[in-house]
Amino acid sequence: MLVSKNRDTNSLLRSEKKSLLRFLALYTALVILLITLLSLFYYQSQEKLMFSDQRAELSKYAYIQTKRLKVLHYFFPEKTEYPRDPRFKSAIYDIEYKKIFSLLEDENVHFNEEIYITNRHIHFVKLLDTYYLGTKYLIIEVPEDHTWKTKAWKHIIGYGLLAFVLFMIFGLILARLFLKPMRDSIMLLDRFIKDTTHELNTPLSTILTNIEMMDTDIMVEKNKKKLNRINIAAKTVSQLYRDLTYLTLEQEQKDRKEEIELQGLISDRIEYFTALANTKQLHFELDMENVIIQADKQKITRVIDNLISNAIKYNKRGGIISVKLRIGRLEIIDTGIGIEEEKIPFIFDRYMRFNQSEGGFGVGLSIVKKILDEYHIKIEVHSELDKGTRIVLTW
């Protein structure tokens, strides 16, 4: 199914980013581990290959040196000079590992290994069956050729980086495939909201207009209460409608800055929500000074409406809503159900709802945060379960 894309759905949502980052972090760690293990196996295989090549050469040197020791053994003590060879160094040890004679530059000898590397030399240990001059162990030493090691590291770094890049490209493709269902769901939800708000416009306007036109003076008390409930329900739907309209048509809206007298605006919006607050017998405590800001009035109204509406919806029956306005600071405090501390960082996520009983799409606070960020207004949320929530705006 084709769905339309808007600016919100094209950009990654916070939860989507978080899922993507977690996946990439785990995937990158596994890729690095895999490449490291493969590099280690490759290095060890190259070292074994080098030892295999050296073993044949050093065995030949050991055979030559053994023949020389045999000659020296039979002509001793007339001939006492230890045989030397410009191609290698050597040493002889007895059966108890005691040194008889040595020309080694590196005396670190491992008698339990046939061939090994010590610092910058390769040692080959040859066990002699015939104890010429009392010798049991013949050690052949040659300088280590670093060519194989340099070549191995070049291969490891080159192919390792290439493999890492290829694995990461594959990982990004994999991540997009994993996130596609989530993104499609969000797009479908956006499309549904857009279509729904479009269909709600006319009937909602008709309801609100007719409520205002009704003459309550001639109504009996029973009908007045019914009309009041209809009015509250219509205003609730109206606020939801304006939030959804703002959300879906945001990219088409122009910013129209003007001077806003906040005290008057907040008073108007509180009066607008009075009927809704009365259903819970809530009491407003106002401490406001005259404050003027430069902003789009429609956007600031969306912020005020959402904050007051939430303070009403999530308050306890008979509770209090305190509004304190000062230059550069607005506080809205309720005595409601509060929010768990670990959930506070996520309350501005779009479609995030922590209380299913109050309905809604979970878009109100997302809109609030978006508007406040646009005007560089900082918002702080302090909340405690069963005690209430304090929202602080500073600019």
Biggest CA pair distance of the chain: 143
**Other CB atoms within 10 A of residue 38 CB:** 14
| Listed residue (121, 151, 120, 148) closest to 52, CA to CA | 148
Lowest mean pLDDT among 44-53, 74-83, 279-288, 341-350: 341-350
| Listed residue (347, 302, 318, 312) closest to 332, CA to CA | 312
Q: What is the per-residue pLDDT across 268-284, written as a single tens digit (0 to 9) for each?
A: 999 888 888 888 899 99
334 three-class SS: strand
Show contacts of 6-11: CB within 8 Å, 24+ apart: 6/190, 6/248, 6/250, 6/251, 7/250, 7/251, 8/190, 8/247, 8/250, 8/350, 9/183, 9/186, 9/187, 9/190
Q: Which pLDDT does position 15 carry in this prediction?
A: 64
What is the overall mean pLDDT for the chain?
A: 84
The C-alpha R_g of the chain, in whole angstroms, comes to 41
**Other CB atoms within 10 A of residue 76 CB:** 11
Highest mean pLDDT (candidates 132-141, 221-230, 232-241): 132-141
Lowest mean pLDDT among 153-162, 165-174, 248-257, 342-351: 248-257
Q: How far is CA 258 from CA 279, 298, 305, in A?
A: 34, 10, 18
107 three-class SS: coil
Domain definitions of the chain by residue range: 8-145, 256-394
Average pLDDT over residues 174-202: 77
- pTM to 2 decimal places: 0.52
Fold of the domain spanning 256-394: Heat Shock Protein 90 (3.30.565)
The angle subtended at Cα 237 by Cα 385 and Cα 3, nearest 5°, is 95
What stretch of H or E contains 63?
helix 14-74
Query: Dihedral through CA 144, CA 145, CA 147, CA 150, nearest 10?
Result: 20
Backbone angles phi, psi at 321, to 5 degrees: -120, 115
What percentage of the chain reaches a pLDDT higher than 70? 91
State the pLDDT confidence band at 348, using cuts at 50, 70 and 90: confident
* Cβ atoms of residues 378 and 372 within 8 Å: yes
Tracing tokens 């030397």 back to the chain, one arrives at 84
Q: Which pLDDT does position 3 carry in this prediction?
A: 34
State the pLDDT confidence band at 356, using cuts at 50, 70 and 90: low
Q: Provide the pairing of β-strand 378-384 with 329-334.
A: unpaired
Q: Is the pLDDT of residue 372 over 70?
A: yes
Average pLDDT over residues 307-324: 91
